[in-house]
Homo-oligomer: A and B are copies of this chain.
Amino acid sequence: MPTQPKRRNTPQRQIILEKLCGTQSHPTASELYDIVKIQLPRISLGTVYRNLEVLANNGQIAKLDLAGGEARFDGTVSPHCHIRCTDCGIVRDLPAMNPREPDLTIGQTNGFLVSGFRMEYTGICANCQ
């Protein structure tokens, strides 16, 4: 198997991780770009995307590939459900909700090897009501 490359802990990567873990919101890549740019004005959007991918592969952050186009990112890795506003798109945690365990046998009828499952609530957030 291919050994993974030795990663460096660049300021860009550090600050991206720090800002993502320091927020309750689940920012998109470009929202995060705007936040990080305050401290690193010369950072590029491409770097944000590249680092988010590295961090997600590392298991340090979670990529939320929910409905509605843009991917969002979550500094909290432990599994929990989300609720998404169908109007403005913001995503919040549902901490009280513990997701049902995936039923790994469910894919057998289709020949699938089940690896996971996702649950997502949708609704209208307080702001948009």
Chain A residues with CB under 8 Å of chain B are 65-68, 83, 85-86, 92, 94, 96-97, 100, 102-103, 106-107, 109-126, 129
Contact = CB atoms under 8 A, between A and B. Distances in A.
Given A66-B67, A96-B106, A122 B111 contact: no
A110 to B, nearest CB: 5
B106 A97 contact: yes
Main secondary structure of the interface of A (DSSP, over half): mixed
A3 to B, nearest CB: 23
A123 B112 contact: yes
A114 B109 CA distance: 32
Top 9 nearest A-B pairs by Cβ distance? A111-B126, A65-B67, A114-B123, A112-B123, A117-B121, A113-B124, A92-B110, A115-B123, A116-B122
